[in-house]
Amino acid sequence: MTLSDLNDADPDQAAALVRPCLDVPRWVDAVVAGRPYATVEQAVRRAGQVLQEDPLTPAEVEAALAHHPRIGERARGTAREAALSRGEQRGLDLTDAVQRELRAANEAYEARFDRVFLIRAAGRDATEILAECRRRTANDPHTEEREVADQLGQIALLRLEGALT
């Protein structure tokens, strides 16, 4: 998808192009409704404004998390979301020891919050991700809800920017 693909598509096609970035219907609709965009930066800025002006609800976060594998595990399937996730985690240097520690940290997080640990992997190494998983496991539920929503937003904006360039 390019910026012109997004701008020129009918609303349903445009929504299908944007949805793999963040499968939250009202966000997708708002990004599509903001067309045409003069630049990729303008599209990403608008997408970020939508998230800032009307943050993701806990239900939207839970629905969006269904498309995210555990950090450190390869996303399965051929869906666009799985391909994006594999690309985002591709740069992680996961030795066997780090993978074991990450698996244990993921399990502790999931036991506490009953959902997968989500973090923007792009630009982070495995050690930083492991430390963040451990730190966030100590969060209270309300704080963690905000952090997960923020991470989903960061991932969505990176995906949108990458998709449009």
138 residue type, one letter = A
Q: Tens digits of per-residue pLDDT, 55-94?
A: 999 999 999 988 788 877 655 555 555 455 545 555 566 7
Contacts of 46 (CB under 8 A, 6+ apart): 30, 31, 34, 37
15-19, 84-88, 98-102 — most confident range: 15-19
Provide the pLDDT for residue 81. 57
User: Are 21 and 156 in contact, with CB atoms under 8 Å apart?
Assistant: yes
Q: Which long-range contacts (C-beta less than 8 Å, at least 24 apart) are formed by 44-49? A: 44/157, 44/160, 44/161, 44/164, 47/21, 47/156, 47/157, 47/160, 48/153, 48/157
Q: Give domain limits for the chain.
A: 3-164
Asked if residues 14 and 35 have their Cβ atoms less than 8 Å apart, the reply is yes
Sign, CA dihedral 15-40-79-61, equals negative
Calculate mean pLDDT across residues 106-125. Answer: 94
Per-residue pLDDT of 25-64, as tens digits, reads 999 999 999 999 999 999 999 999 999 999 999 999 999 9
Cis before 36? omega within 30: yes
CATH pick for 3-164 out of 1.10.3330.10, 1.25.40.10, 1.10.1040.10, 3.40.50.720: 1.10.3330.10
Residue 75 identity (one-letter amino acid): A
- State both tokens at 155: 């991932």
